[in-house]
Structure 1
């Protein structure tokens, strides 16, 4: 079987034009409790040539092959893998520490294992295992005849979550090293089940295991409570980007004395206007059309080239703009993809009058209109024209029927259900003589923006009122006793409020 797997890996490299940097066994065989009919779960990490990895087309970052002859291969591109490793992805961390390795670039494996250990998110990894344990418990162990596989998968995830929370390190992959962390009686029951499964089929049931059931049902809720108390943690991108750059296929510039990656936060308007990035810049809009007047906006459009140190990182960028989008600069990959879709605002940049062009790199001449224009223009330009007509009609309505300048508060859109109709909230409060600070709301299940209204004049401090004290555009809810009965029902037309705010 080892020879078959090595042959398979070589075939995958040739078929997909990739280089496999690491391949291992995952799942029950790596954990040490495989059945005689278990598949070989082969997982691998790979890199692609630059011309295939970085194109304007959205390529796949995953290779999945149908199971054949008990071989179940699947792999991730290193960019995807490092993005997941930054989040302490549990499956990937297990791959990196698998006891069964089919192929490995030693330096690559060392780099990724170091990242996994030095930048471990204890809460993220433990939560991964807690989620798996809960999933296997609900789907596999609440049935009449649970399988040994269901028990072992759930127990391994549960013990792994406990291990991460206690030690702050990835759990051992072989299950035999996790079993001793359970109480003696439970550990012995697990060992007996592992031995039984070794001679059983993949989904055969050993019958209900009371000792294991009790252990799972007692410990699974406690893991959740412990996790909720853990602080949120996140990893910096820098170390992961550096490893990605090191293992990407394009070479470092021959004349570079130092090489520092650039990050998304560094792409400001001032930065993309620098000569090393700027490809094109021009005045656009009404001033380019010749339809401007003294109060017209001054629109700028540009195209910039993100350096290879960014393209090889874990971040993407489409454009950089100011708050009003009067100045918009497109990354060249995004610009070309919009050209291919015959976007009217983008296509017109290829026909910008010379008098409006501020900067034009010779490379911009490679983008020729005839390479992009197609019959699709009839649809895209037609739709754009219709959208402008609808916009003009809407503006005309605002001019003829101006809206009040002052925004109505959210309470004007709240009503109390009464009989076959409703009354405005303020009218109801006045008629009933109720202080809204004595009220508390509870959201009604399965009824969007509808609330049960409760009152407690004796303990008003326990009621939060109807609207937030910090934001009158937000409704607040209170905690009430289960036996409390509502005095009314409130409904809020939130969609009408949002439309009013946009008017």
Structure 2
């Protein structure tokens, strides 16, 4: 699959006349919780040629393959590929956009070119906003909990849509830093030894084994943990007021330097 992903990325570059700076895995594979049927969620950052930016009209700054944007080779049905144009990515980085921050920390990197991504990784530690991170993960957990875990029977995989953001938010509360990517690392650090951790680890093993779509009775110990943590994190989020120095000028310079480097 890796070779196919690289072929798709090269084709995207050719078909859309762009340069891809970085491509990684996102979602369950990057979290270390894939099942045998998990999709490949490939995310990338790209840059256009200079003339694309010298226009009075705004243009689309996202590429989504094969959902909305066709390419000239067939794409595997398990492959979901989408990318953000560099200026868009930098604007989101300025806001500590959690999905983008996760891309930069993914342990599965398919491609990287130039200095921009390493520079962003270096900057991320100093300009990361715990406020943005907490609110993002808390809202994700609340929304997914309401949608997926209220019925008497639930699918195993849906627990991870709630547990991971809860644990990521608790990591930020504990360390005031970007949370770990791997789900297992979050569990080991955040959940104390006991019944709850045992229940979660059993779920993890079953998900990886391929049982993730099975409908089963709701696990009350996990639901109680989630409800309690949502309440506590909501209260904590209201107390946060962290000021981050505006990195706009640094990011402007990075954008200009990367444009020169990519098309030199």
Relative to the length of structure 1, the TM-score reads 0.48
**What is the CA deviation profile of residues 148-201 of structure 1, one whole-angstrom value per residue up to 9, with x for unaligned ones?**
221112111001001112211111111111011112222221111010112235
Q: Which residue of 2 aligns with 1:53?
A: 53
2:143 is the counterpart of 1:132: no
Task: State the alpha-carbon separation in 2 of the partners of residues 249 and 106 from structure 1.
Answer: 11
The structural deviation recorded for 1:16 is 0.6
1:25-40 matches, cutoff 5 A:
25-40=25-40
1:455-466 matches, cutoff 5 A:
none
Moved over 4 A (4+): none
Task: State the alpha-carbon separation in 2 of the partners of residues 119 and 25 from structure 1.
Answer: 23
Q: Secondary structure at the match of 1:197?
A: helix
Task: State the alpha-carbon separation in 1 of the partners of residues 197 and 235 from structure 2.
Answer: 24
The structural deviation recorded for 1:39 is 0.8
Q: CA contact under 8 A between 1:88 and 1:124: conserved in structure 2?
A: yes
Task: Tell me the matched-pair count.
Answer: 251
Q: Which residue of 2 aligns with 1:205?
A: 215
Task: State the alpha-carbon separation in 1 of the partners of residues 152 and 83 from structure 2.
Answer: 36
Select the structure with the greater relative contact order (CA < 8 A; seq sep ≥ 6): 2
Task: State the alpha-carbon separation in 1 of the partners of residues 261 and 55 from structure 2.
Answer: 14
The structural deviation recorded for 1:140 is 0.8
The structural deviation recorded for 1:114 is 1.4
**More deviation in 223-232 or 93-102?**
223-232
The structural deviation recorded for 1:239 is 2.0
Q: Which residue of 2 aligns with 1:243?
A: 254
**What is the CA deviation profile of residues 400-447 of structure 1, one whole-angstrom value per residue up to 9, with x for unaligned ones?**
xxxxxxxxxxxxxxxxxxxxxxxxxxxxxxxxxxxxxxxxxxxxxxxx
The structural deviation recorded for 1:106 is 5.7
The counterpart of 2:192, out of the listed 158, 178, 183, is 183
Give the root-mean-square deviation of aligned CA atoms: 1.7
1:12/1:115 CA distance change after superposition, 3 Å: same
Q: CA contact under 8 A between 1:159 and 1:178: conserved in structure 2?
A: yes
1:74-153 matches, cutoff 5 A:
74-105=82-113, 107-153=115-161
**What is the CA deviation profile of residues 449-498 of structure 1, one whole-angstrom value per residue up to 9, with x for unaligned ones?**
xxxxxxxxxxxxxxxxxxxxxxxxxxxxxxxxxxxxxxxxxxxxxxxxxx
Task: State the alpha-carbon separation in 2 of the partners of residues 8 and 178 from structure 1.
Answer: 32
Task: State the alpha-carbon separation in 2 of the partners of residues 207 and 5 from structure 1.
Answer: 38
Q: Secondary structure at the match of 1:199?
A: helix
Q: Which residue of 2 aligns with 1:63?
A: 63
Task: State the alpha-carbon separation in 1 of the partners of residues 138 and 57 from structure 2.
Answer: 37
Q: Secondary structure at the match of 2:215?
A: coil
Hey, which of these two has a bigger chunk of helix by percent?
2
**More deviation in 196-205 or 72-81?**
196-205
2:227 is the counterpart of 1:217: yes
Task: State the alpha-carbon separation in 2 of the partners of residues 76 and 249 from structure 1.
Answer: 18
Task: State the alpha-carbon separation in 2 of the partners of residues 202 and 189 from structure 1.
Answer: 15
Q: CA contact under 8 A between 1:123 and 1:233: conserved in structure 2?
A: no
Q: Secondary structure at the match of 1:63?
A: strand
Q: Which residue of 1 aligns with 2:70?
A: none
Q: Secondary structure at the match of 1:243?
A: helix
